[in-house]
Amino acid sequence: MRKAEQGKTFEKLNAIPSARLFAKSFTSLFIPSGEVQPRRDDRPQEAQSGARPKKPRLTTAEKQLAEKTYFRYRDEKCPLFDSQELVHYLAIRHNGPALSLGNKVIPATILWSNVKTVIPPDRILGQLDHTDPDPLTGSPTLSPEEYAAARAFIKKQYESGKITYESNDYRMMRIERLPSGQVRIDGAFALYYDNILTQYTMEWELKKALLRNGPSPIQRLSKPGTLSLREAIEAQGDPLFSGHGRCTAITISTLMVFNRIPAGFACLIRRRSIEVGLSPGMLHIVPAGMFEASNTHDNWSIEMNVWRELLEEIYNDEELLGTGYAEIFGLCPWKRTDKTPAGADRQRGSRIQRDGNCLRPSQLATGNMYGALCP
């Protein structure tokens, strides 16, 4: 893009007051009195409740695939799924202490933490396998024929709404602890439906096991064959640090913290769309999204992916919606923020965590402008 066009893009960003950022989110954690009010929710009642749109009925063959892929359990209500007992079980099974928030523990564990130094998010990225992505031909529990049928089924289900394409994402191959105390993530290209069939199905498999009738459902999880997909993946290496056996697509979520003098600190959250395939209706920080590689020539960069999501989701830049401009014309905003004076609203910390339900790795960094969650 020409320099004149680049200038116009940043002129648009600079012209947007911070108050409009808060008005764009469905909910903000902090609303200064008399300044910014929550956005009125004019969505249909079904959308406000977080319920998914009604889907066409499944055929007999599709019902069999829904059972085989555990897709039928995706939206099932499972009281034990959020229980502290399950969190403690997963922490012991995967040898990682559960993350605590106040008096509650959640199914995640910290693999790496950094609270003392400023580390640009891209510094944790290691080698990237540039081989063009191809659909997987099988999984630890599905034969090639079964996997092909399951993939076609998942594609149909996920594209029956507003989603009309399969994204090309980055996947984690391994997380390595370095002698320096930092970590490095090696990656490769991935396809979204392979992530669904080999990564998130572990969560649905867990739901199925917990919903079975009988005493001590959590104790039964240790019985061989109960969680066959999880067991097969665990057999290929430590799933907290290895991506073998599944497609561990990476996600990025950004915690934006504002020091709104004199009111104090505030951040943005909003409710996820009911159209998304995972966690619809959940309150979530923004901007957020898959660590996408819209084309295989994009930079292997957390920072630029966050920057693109920032322009799309916060500033609603229509020119970038659905495009592959991950590099944002080669301009790096992080260098600009690093020059700001040090202060309470400029301090940054980082950590890498794992979701215990589906063994999804997450890298989190918080700061003045950015924070990154990578699967």
DSSP annotation string for 34-72: TT--PPP--S-HHHHTTPPPP-PPPPHHHHHHHHHTTGG
Share the mean pLDDT of the chain. 74
Nearest-angstrom CA–CA distance, 246 and 239 = 9
The pLDDT of residue 274 is: 72
pLDDT category at 312 given cuts 50, 70, 90 is confident
Task: Give the C-alpha distances (Å, rounded to integers) separating 165 from 162, 168, 192, 279, 282.
Answer: 9, 10, 9, 19, 22
Is the Cβ–Cβ distance between 310 and 254 less than 8 Å? yes
Confidence at residue 149, expressed as pLDDT on a 0 to 100 scale: 97
Cβ-count burial of 100 within 10 angstroms (0-12 exposed, 13-18 middle, 19+ buried)? exposed
Helix, strand or coil, per DSSP, at residue 334: helix
Over the stretch 84-108, which tens digit does the pLDDT of each residue have? 999 999 999 988 888 888 888 888 8
Report the pLDDT value the prediction gives residue 233, as an integer from 0 to 100: 94
Check residues 53 and 294 and name the one with the higher pLDDT. 294
> Structure pTM?
0.73
Reported as a single tens digit per residue, the pLDDT across 217-250 is 999 999 999 999 999 999 999 988 999 999 999 8
Q: Kindly report which listed range (110-119, 167-176, 207-216, 318-327) carries the lowest average pLDDT score.
A: 318-327
Between these two residues, 225 and 312, which has the higher pLDDT value?
Answer: 225
Cβ atoms 374, 172 nearer than 8 A = yes
Q: What is the pLDDT of residues 48-78, one digit of tens each?
A: 454 555 667 899 999 999 999 999 999 899 9
Cβ–Cβ under 8 Å, residues 75 and 86: no
- Contact of 144 with 258, CB cutoff 8 Å: no
Helix (H, G, I), strand (E, B) or coil at 183: strand
Mean pLDDT of 125-138: 94
Q: Is the pLDDT of residue 29 over 60?
A: no
- The closest alpha carbon to 262, from 30, 37, 25, 23, belongs to 30
* Per-residue tokens: 269: 């959250």
pLDDT band at 357 (very low <50, low <70, confident <90, very high): low
The better pLDDT of the pair 36, 152 is held by 152
| Of 111, 115, 189, 97, the residue nearest 362 (C-alpha) | 111
> Is 2 or 138 the better-scoring residue by pLDDT?
138
% of the chain at pLDDT higher than 90: 33
DSSP state of 343: S
Left if phi > 0, otherwise alpha if psi is -120 to 50, otherwise beta: which for 132? beta
